[in-house]
Structure 1
């Protein structure tokens, strides 16, 4: 047999896409010449295309051993390693190929891809640029350059690179998909939708429906998002992220039993997924299923968003056992509102015989000094003194085995401390005195959804017999300019103790879902909480106009459809007219 002729015959079949015929030619060559490095390398390429990464790596490695100064088998070996998940070894192989043949753009492109996967995006940029310098007509080089820029949080520049790849090869789905991802990273979800659909039209894949669904969900188009998640799951039943986001979407659509079932099924696939357990916790607690809900809520400490706040105090955590005679540090976590809502559980710990040291953020320190059962209140930077055990504040319901039926809800459980700002002038005002808050803390991811604008309160301002006062603090407090005649109390609010004094001087508080709602409720002051749709305030549950957390004082006003604040304020105006008339 003419080995060279058979090898060329195989290459021709390979170019024509007749891979079976090509493989038979390469095998014939290797039977005649087992050390033929060309055939070994080309068989490695075919094996990797067929998904046999182990065989592909073995064949390429044999070629490398026979001819260690040839770049091509290093590329083949790297491709097989990367496909098998051994990305570090792949990067090393591609780097060797680049060193051996610095004029081969494919090796630079593949090296950049591996470096991107390793998170070494700055290095990947350099390698992708090298490929473009060698041959700027390669769409793969521009696409990889775009991926590198996207990894460096430069989505606008990344889009330019992806667009060059599209220009060079309009029928290639990958850069279209990457443009969509870069647009979504900039919250340009409307633009991303069309690009994702273009990519799906060129080549379908579960991840494309998943990303399309994510953008639809971000735009509040939940029914369409649900449909796309389900398509992704039809194509890839084990797609855990799609299960997770479908479960979250069903929760936002208020289909809680379906959400729970979806998330529980996903946990069967990925029992150690913190995201799944966290979202299941929210769905359970929204249904009032406390026993399972608070247990699942403990998974928060494995969530990437919570890991920076996990702390080791050098003492064991209280596990719910006998605590009599022990000093327990109840540690702070999450937002001001959560701390005010959950501090009600601290007296239950003291009732079991514990001496309680209560940690909180500085803005709550004076207020929490009024909480029953607390030996001392501390903030970061203080001397905490000795303690035997510690427990995160929002783990108390789980450790205490609290149920919704025995929720400690006697009001008030906080009081206005001594030596705070005086609001006697506010209390002396005639008429129904109403405090307003239109925005939560800017650090919350869902703040724009749960907040409204100060101008949304305008329909209330002409209700006869009402006087309005702003309790809004923070960067959005300047929206008070949109509410003529309202009195701004923000300059007098140094901390939550001062805010408590201001609330005590009022008759009613109206607020979006913020810490002020919980403060008013904890003080026993009538309060109206304005909830967006969907609402991430899972403990307000669904279908309720009041709340077991603040019985007799709190009423919930919910958007009937997403974004519909006018209907909420129309109902609120009618209530104010009645209250002021009385």
Structure 2
């Protein structure tokens, strides 16, 4: 949410602790506390100002910003609604409340206020950007592209608008421009630095036969799995290839031909001449819908691990039962987790399948939901028995199919060529494209999409019907 600063005259006085000052002076002090991270002090001042001036719009707006920072979204919305009731033509209030409504899935209200903000302040790049984001969430992708471009016409260096434009273009299959815009991801606010130092150039895609190239696993597990398919192509141009990536990814990434050294800590990275993030390779190779490299499978399970897990699952799964792996939630800290994750209870139609055992591959806090499972199909939760991705790969090799929300498991099973039913939110990540039930990245993955935001019942029912028909 954007701060308004001192947006309206507030020359009337208010008293705090016996001190008489103008209202705006108190608000300035509250904002100073806020910016310094002294939220309790800011909140105390705002509470006293609002007690004296309960309908003063700048105070209500500032209180909304503070409530948002303190993760009290309903209070933030209420404060902004009160501010708008008192000052209905203030564009920043509409701009901020549309983002709050969007975060709560109230997209119709978000759209109305987003449009109002742009009507009131057509030259506000932030308002145009916010409206574009709302259109993306509503799967109005043409409009999302229009408003991202308007934001950039007003503020060409706005990294968030560039990134939003990239996601809309890539979702629409417009890869050429989409990859170029995707490069702005490293300029986003609070984006971590790709390298601890920047004294080497970004690789331009040209051969480097006598020099060393550093590839960097720069994003999450799923992205690393998706883009490591390019490693063998890079190695043909740069035979001295070093990979910097998390230790968890090593069993997967090192299956790609051409890596001469792997480092999971910066201090272990040897000297190199140029670098490239894995997620930058599609742009350098000019990837379009017709040229996505699909060397599937490009990840394989260790045969010894497969044998061990086959014996283990043979003890747990009744004879003659299909084994369906399930994952219903992603990493809670993911920025889009509220949109892509569900609860185990929403997978109830799978629990009615005959001669089927469900095998939970769920990790993290959401795995506790297995305690409340009461379905007819047996549920096997492997939990702590899965030590790392070598175990996960072995299990995926044995299962008949995986049903999962958009997590690294979908990418891993897809990279192995294993059958996957992916459950996607209404506004999915760009890599799943629009209006498709298949994926050009992973031929074995079937896509089941929400027909509306938060509407998981339809895709889950469709997957259950698909599995029942295959039985």
Of Structure 1 and Structure 2, which has the larger fraction of its residues in helix? Answer: 1
TM-score w.r.t. the length of structure 2 is 0.89
| Structure-2 change in CA distance of 1:214 and 1:249 (3 Å) | same
Q: Partners in 1 of 2:48 and 2:25 — Cα distance?
A: 10
Displacement of 1:275: 1.1
TM-score, normalization by structure 1:
0.73
* Partner residue of 1:445 out of 335, 347, 359: 335
The one-character-per-residue Cα deviations of 1:395-420 (angstroms, maximum 9, x if unpaired) are 11112222221000131011113664
1:502 alignment counterpart: 395
Equivalent residue runs for 1:564-575 within 5 Å: 564-575=455-466
Q: Deviations over 1:253-287 (max 9, x none)?
A: 11111111211122111111111111111111111
The answer to whether the aligner puts 1:468 opposite 2:361 as a matched pair is no
Moved more, 475-484 or 133-142: 133-142
Deviation at 1:170? 3.7
CA contact (8 A) 2:420 2:445 kept: yes
Structure 1 unmatched runs, 5+: 1-81, 84-105, 110-127
Determine if contact 1:370/1:417 at 8 Å carries over to the other structure.
no
Bigger relative contact order (CA 8 A; separation at least 6): 2
Q: Considering only CA atoms, is the larger Rg found in Structure 1 or Structure 2?
A: 1
Identify which of 304, 308, 324 aligns with 1:434: 324
Q: 1:271 to 1:352 in 2, by over 3 A?
A: same
Who is 1:371 aligned against?
A: 256
> Does the CA-based 8 Å contact 2:55-2:82 persist in structure 1?
no
Q: What are the superposed Cα offsets for residues 105-148 of structure 1, whole Å, 9 maximum, x if unpaired?
A: x9xx9xxxxxxxxxxxxxxxxxx9xx834525754454344434
Bigger fraction of residues in strand: 2
1:521 aligns to what?
414
CA contact (8 A) 2:125 2:150 kept: no
Residues matched between the structures, number: 453
* Alpha-carbon offset, residue 244 of structure 1: 1.0
1:516, distance to aligned residue in structure 2 (A): 0.6
* Cα distance change, pair 525–222 in 1 and its aligned pair in 2 (3 A): same
Q: Deviations over 1:481-505 (max 9, x none)?
A: 1235311222222221221111111
Q: Quick check: 1:313–1:390 contact (8 Å CA) kept in 2?
A: no
Cα–Cα, structure 1 residues 155 and 532, in superposed 2: closer, same or farther, change >3 Å?
farther
Question: Could you list the runs of 5+ residues in structure 2 that have no partner in the other structure?
Answer: none
Partner of 2:404 in structure 1?
A: 511
Tell me the residue number matched to 1:561: 452
Q: Give distance in 2, aligned partners of 1:154 and 1:578.
A: 59
CA separation in 2, counterparts of 1:325 and 1:404?
A: 32
Match of 1:538 in 2: 430
- 2:244, 2:262 within 8 Å by CA — same for their partners in 1? yes
1:210 Cα deviation (Å)? 0.7
What's the secondary structure of 2:402's corresponding residue? Answer: strand
Secondary structure in 2 matching 1:478: helix
1:224, distance to aligned residue in structure 2 (A)? 2.3
Please point out which of 424, 428, 440 is paired with 2:310: 424
CA distance in 2, matches of 1:358, 1:168: 61
Alignment partner of 1:318 out of 199, 203, 206: 203
User: After the TM superposition, which residues 98-109 of structure 1 pair with which residues of structure 2 at under 5 Å, given as runs?
Assistant: none
Structure 1 residues 478 and 170: CA distance shift in structure 2, 3 A:
closer
Moved more, 320-329 or 499-508: 320-329
Q: Which residue of 2 aligns with 1:307?
A: 192
Alignment-derived partner of residue 344 in structure 2: 454
For residues 310 and 387 of structure 1, what CA distance do their matches in structure 2 show?
12
Please give the residue correspondences for 1:182-581 in structure 2 after superposition, counting only pairs within 5 Å. Answer: 182-203=66-87, 204-312=89-197, 314-380=199-265, 383-417=268-302, 420=305, 422-425=308-311, 428=314, 429=317, 430-484=320-374, 485-535=378-428, 537-551=429-443, 553-579=444-470, 581=471
State how far apart, in whole Å, the 2-side matches of 1:211 and 1:160 are.
Answer: 23
